[in-house]
């Protein structure tokens, strides 16, 4: 990257906002000026970054003047409200909400898959849903070689997907349950400690929840393949951080498990964890804090032609959100 940038983090007090700061520091992102923005109720809070104390400011239409980049994760409604002001200011908005993902005029990007779409932006680039990213990074190398016709996904989604408050609720509920105290629900609709339940997004008239529908529609857009068939069942599990997914695919061309293992071991953003002898495969505990998505349980699906199945785990806050957005920004401002 050639020059230092004037950067704002919008939604800085949330789980993804905090991860933005961690990754900007880790990746030595070239920052000339940093603005930390959030809702009015967070304004005035102090946050330390790279040895300097910053005060959180309330995000307003005039908060973006002179900026080069806005990393946004403050909720869809706020993104829609402030996006016109960000674009007008001349800054690039990399948005981590669902507000713009399916807008045909706005690129939806996973850098390992469709980096060329970044150049098509008109001031906004959308970051895909976390479950979509964690699914597609390991599937794309296979898709390029053997063309995937169909994907069936079952997700095991951590509390982190519902934000920092949901992660805290899981901790408190686990402590209360083990101490024999009543378990209280405030953030999630059902008890998350020692329980599993269908993803807490709205169920549509077709019986699919919003999370499942996102995975279907976003895959078609990112792969530039309207014909690919995708179905998903999304579930919340009592894991603090990092989503896991069981993936079942059918390819047009026959590809062996060993070929897949070789492909994935060389692909960017992935780490193959596939030790059958030790029964050692991807786990959210080990995916937490990692940039790479873990992939394993590679095997043929004998119930269909050219079928393969695998299990993946990826840090929902990192690659599923903040890291993907920063990788987009790095490419957008490269050279």
- For the annotated catalytic residues, the residue numbers are 130, 243
DSSP lists the bridge partners of residue 248 as 152, 309
Burial class of 48 by CB neighbour count within 10 A (0 to 12, 13 to 18, 19+): exposed
What is the helix (H) or strand (E) element at residue 57, kind and residue range?
Answer: strand 57-58
Burial class of 227 by CB neighbour count within 10 A (0 to 12, 13 to 18, 19+): exposed
Name the one residue in this structure whose structure tokens are 């040895």: 51
CA 287 to chain centre: 13
Q: How far apart are CA 133 and CA 170, in angstroms?
A: 24
- What angle do helix axes 323-332 and 15-26 make, rounded to 10 degrees? 50
Q: What number of other Cβ atoms are within 10 A of residue 246's Cβ? A: 15
DSSP lists the bridge partners of residue 10 as 37, 72
Q: Nearest CA to 137 among 222, 203, 196, 77?
A: 222
User: Degrees (nearest 5) of the Cα angle 52, 334, 64?
Assistant: 50
Using an 8 Å Cβ cutoff, are 313 and 286 in contact? yes
Using an 8 Å Cβ cutoff, are 245 and 133 in contact? no
Q: How far apart are CA 236 and CA 166, in angstroms?
A: 11
Using an 8 Å Cβ cutoff, are 157 and 237 in contact? yes
CA dihedral sign of residues 167, 169, 171, 177: negative
CA dihedral sign of residues 168, 171, 172, 177: positive
């Amino acid at each position: 990257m050639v020059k230092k940038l004037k950067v704002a983090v919008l939604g800085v007090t949330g789980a993804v906002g905090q991860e933005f700061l961690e990754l900007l520091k880790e990746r030595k992102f070239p920052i000339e000026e940093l603005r930390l923005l959030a809702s009015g109720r967070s304004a005035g809070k102090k946050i330390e970054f790279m040895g300097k104390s910053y005060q959180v400011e309330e995000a307003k239409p005039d908060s973006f003047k002179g900026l080069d980049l806005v990393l946004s994760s403050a909720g869809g409604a706020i993104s829609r409200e402030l996006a016109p002001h960000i674009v007008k200011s001349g800054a690039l908005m990399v948005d981590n909400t669902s507000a713009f993902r399916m807008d045909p005029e706005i690129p939806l990007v996973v850098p390992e898959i469709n980096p060329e779409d970044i150049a098509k932006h008109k001031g906004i680039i959308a970051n895909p849903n976390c479950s979509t990213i964690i699914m597609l990074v390991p599937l794309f190398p296979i898709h390029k070689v053997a063309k995937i016709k169909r994907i069936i996904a079952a997700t095991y989604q951590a509390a982190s997907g519902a934000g920092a408050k949901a992660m805290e609720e899981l901790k408190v509920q686990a402590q209360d349950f083990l101490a024999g105290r009543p378990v209280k629900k405030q953030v999630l609709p059902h008890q998350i400690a020692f329980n599993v339940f269908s993803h807490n997004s709205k169920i549509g008239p077709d019986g699919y929840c919003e999370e499942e529908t996102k995975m279907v529609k976003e895959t078609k857009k990112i792969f530039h393949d309207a014909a690919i068939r995708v179905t998903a069942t999304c579930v919340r599990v009592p894991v603090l951080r990092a989503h896991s997914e069981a993936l079942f695919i059918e390819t047009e061309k026959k590809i062996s498990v060993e070929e897949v293992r070789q492909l994935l071991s060389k692909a960017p953003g992935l780490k193959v964890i596939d030790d059958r002898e030790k029964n050692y495969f991807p786990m959210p505990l080990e995916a937490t804090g990692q940039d790479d998505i873990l992939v394993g349980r590679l095997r043929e699906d004998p119930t269909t032609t050219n079928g393969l199945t695998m299990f993946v785990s990826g840090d929902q806050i990192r690659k599923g959100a903040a890291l993907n957005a920063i990788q987009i920004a790095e490419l957008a401002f490269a050279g």
